């Protein structure tokens, strides 16, 4: 609720002087968030004192205020409340100040204090470890702004869906916690969206077991899609591979990216592969290659070509996988190429 009307207002001299005494780069704030400097009331010294009390040195304080100048508009009471809140999941103040240095915007968003507190306690009850909750607070802070009831409802919808798809009671908690850890943003969806997406998969003849398989493989990202986008992506793949509905279903189970990526993304990646001389039949055989960006594919093809491996004539398996997977298989191919062929029956030359 701070005013952003800058025309008729002047900078608060006291604020400027206080920031200057802390070696804060005022020009940087003017460039990015000048409106902060125009407010009548600011708590520069008080905020700096609290940060220093937590263990931040002068450089860290200056960095925090440069990155998140609106911190100085919060009262010391508000910041101490937020400090107490984050301490519920931080091991100590040393860890807390380190997180504030890295993610000041997340820490100083205190408008949803009550919701944040209720959600932290709910996640702890659910069984999420504190280190996972701190990761959520810094990388997905907006899931804490929801009313806790909304997050509870969504979790209950996911639990019911898991059981109705044939998942067991014994595994449900582990499944939910893993899903949340991999993709906390599923909590930004509505229960209706979750049910619509599951209904779409059933309508396209995916069995309960197959839907469960897709949910696990897609790490919950499926809930961020809509039936319309999934339909378009599937239709695109069907036209490209000229396959039946059953064949398409098997391709999607093999490579859920065909369901997840939008048509423009799939189009661009397919074109990139075809330009490299790879055939549609090869891609159909190893569709997981579409999970890689065009740049990654080009880089890997170049490295394999240097070893004399021609992807156009062989399988695309060697292109697949994470960076680590690729480096391992590339290393094996490299050492195989460099190793001299040993003939066990050849005479051994021994000098006298």
Segment 286-304, tens digit of pLDDT: 899 999 899 998 898 888 8
Domain boundaries, the chain: 10-110, 111-216
pLDDT at 342 over 70: no
Q: State the average pLDDT for the chain.
A: 88
Looking at domain 111-216, which CATH architecture does it have? Alpha Horseshoe (1.25)
Residue scoring higher pLDDT (109 or 221): 109
Cα–Cα distance measured from residue 232 to residue 184, given in angstroms and rounded to the nearest whole number: 26
% residues pLDDT > 90 (the chain)? 65
% residues pLDDT > 70 (the chain)? 93
Which tens digit of pLDDT belongs to each residue from 252-283?
999 998 998 999 999 999 999 999 888 899 89
pLDDT at 351 over 80: no
Say what the pLDDT of residue 336 is. 76
Cα–Cα distance measured from residue 166 to residue 231, given in angstroms and rounded to the nearest whole number: 25
For 219, other C-beta atoms within 10 Å of its C-beta total 15
Which tens digit of pLDDT belongs to each residue from 14-73?
999 999 999 999 999 999 999 999 999 999 999 999 999 999 999 999 999 999 999 999
Q: How far apart are the first and last CA of the chain?
A: 93
SS3 track for 97-157: HHHHHHCHHHHCCCCCHHHHHHHHHHHHHHCCCHHHHHHHHHHCHHHHCCCHHHHHHHHHH
pLDDT band at 341 (very low <50, low <70, confident <90, very high): low
Cα–Cα distance measured from residue 287 to residue 280, given in angstroms and rounded to the nearest whole number: 10
Cα–Cα distance measured from residue 108 to residue 141, given in angstroms and rounded to the nearest whole number: 11
**What count of Cα atoms within 13 Å lies in the side-chain half-sphere of residue 45?**
4
Which tens digit of pLDDT belongs to each residue from 123-180?
999 999 999 999 999 999 999 999 999 999 999 999 999 999 999 999 999 999 998 9
């Amino acid at each position: 609720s701070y005013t952003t009307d800058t025309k008729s207002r002047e900078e608060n001299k006291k604020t400027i002087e206080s920031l200057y005494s802390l070696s804060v780069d005022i020009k940087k704030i003017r460039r990015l968030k000048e409106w902060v400097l125009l407010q009548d009331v600011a708590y520069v010294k008080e905020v700096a004192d609290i940060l220093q009390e937590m263990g931040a040195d002068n450089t860290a304080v200056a960095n925090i205020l440069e990155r998140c100048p609106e911190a100085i508009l919060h009262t010391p009471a508000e910041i101490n409340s937020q400090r107490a809140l984050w301490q519920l999941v931080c091991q100590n103040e040393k860890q807390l100040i380190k997180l504030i240095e890295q993610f000041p915007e997340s820490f100083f968003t205190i408008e949803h204090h009550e919701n944040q507190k209720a959600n932290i306690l709910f996640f702890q009850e659910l069984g999420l470890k504190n280190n996972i909750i701190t990761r959520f607070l810094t990388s997905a802070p907006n899931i804490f702004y929801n009313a806790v009831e909304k997050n509870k409802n969504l979790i209950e919808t996911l639990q019911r869906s898991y059981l109705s798809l044939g998942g067991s009671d014994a595994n449900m908690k582990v499944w939910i916690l893993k899903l949340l850890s991999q993709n906390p943003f599923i909590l930004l969806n509505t229960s209706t969206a979750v049910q619509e997406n599951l209904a779409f998969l059933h309508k396209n003849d995916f069995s309960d077991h197959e839907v469960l398989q897709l949910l696990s493989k897609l790490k919950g990202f499926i809930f961020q899609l809509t039936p319309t986008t999934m339909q378009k992506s599937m239709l695109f793949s069907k036209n490209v591979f000229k396959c039946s509905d059953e064949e398409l279903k098997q391709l999607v189970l093999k490579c859920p990216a065909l369901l997840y990526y939008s048509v423009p993304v799939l189009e661009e990646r397919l074109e990139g592969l075809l330009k490299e001389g790879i055939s549609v039949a090869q891609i159909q055989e190893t569709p997981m290659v579409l999970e890689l960006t065009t740049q990654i594919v080009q880089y890997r093809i170049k490295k394999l070509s240097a070893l004399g491996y021609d992807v156009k004539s062989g399988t695309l398996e060697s292109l697949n996988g994470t960076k680590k997977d690729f480096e391992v298989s590339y290393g094996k191919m490299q050492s195989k190429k460099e190793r001299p062929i040993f003939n066990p029956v050849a005479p051994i030359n021994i000098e006298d």
